[in-house]
């Protein structure tokens, strides 16, 4: 059985595949308006609903998970602070070709035919070094 790490190692990404689209340089993005604007909310015990939401939306929100609301709000706040940075600042922590963590497109992007219009920041373990690179004097809130 092949592990995900082995797949990633055997299929390194190019810098073109890692670097997200610079949304600051776009004047306008054409989008299709979804029929409904709310992400489905699913109880963790509802596997059928998770499958349906994944097929229909590609995303879902888990409730009743026990994570304190204060921690969720802090995560949202720090995420907004990260993605509000100018593109050149975010590139300080751009994920390398063989890495799984850091700033960039989803590591699974090369396995899809269409370009993914998004940016992300993958974390496994501590991200303190990335936080120090972005906010040398104010990194402790991020980790």
Q: What is the sign of the dihedral through the CA atoms of 115, 27, 22 and 135?
A: negative
For 96-117, the pLDDT digits (tens) are 877 778 888 877 777 777 777 7
The single-letter DSSP state of residue 94 is B
Q: Is residue 17 one of the residues assigned to a domain?
A: no
Verify that 53 and 89 share a domain, yes or no.
no
DSSP run (H or E) holding 72: helix 69-83
Name the DSSP class of 100: S
**pLDDT at residue 9 above 80?**
no
Counted domains in the chain:
2
Integer Cα distance of 134 and 136 in angstroms: 6
Structural domain span for residue 104: 85-134
Is the confidence at residue 53, as pLDDT, over 80? Answer: yes
Is residue 8 domain-resident? no
In a domain, 46, yes or no: yes
pLDDT above 70: residue 28 = no
Whether 130 has a pLDDT exceeding 60, the answer reads yes
CA 57 to chain centre: 16
Domain assignment of residue 28, yes or no: no
Burial tier of 105 (Cβ tally within 10 Å: 0-12, 13-18, 19+): buried
């Amino acid at each position: 059985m092949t592990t995900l790490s082995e797949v990633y190692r055997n299929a390194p990404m190019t810098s073109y595949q890692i670097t997200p689209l610079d949304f600051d340089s776009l004047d306008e993005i054409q989008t299709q308006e979804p029929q409904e604007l709310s992400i489905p909310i699913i109880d963790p015990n509802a596997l059928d609903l998770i499958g349906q939401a994944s097929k229909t939306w590609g995303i879902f929100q888990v409730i009743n998970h026990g994570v304190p609301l204060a921690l969720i709000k802090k995560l949202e706040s720090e995420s907004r602070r990260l993605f509000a940075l100018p593109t050149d600042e975010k590139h300080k922590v751009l994920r390398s070709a063989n890495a799984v963590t850091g700033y960039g497109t989803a590591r699974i992007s090369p396995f899809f035919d269409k370009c993914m219009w998004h940016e992300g920041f993958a974390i496994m373990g501590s991200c303190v070094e990335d936080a120090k690179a972005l906010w040398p004097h104010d990194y402790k809130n991020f980790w």
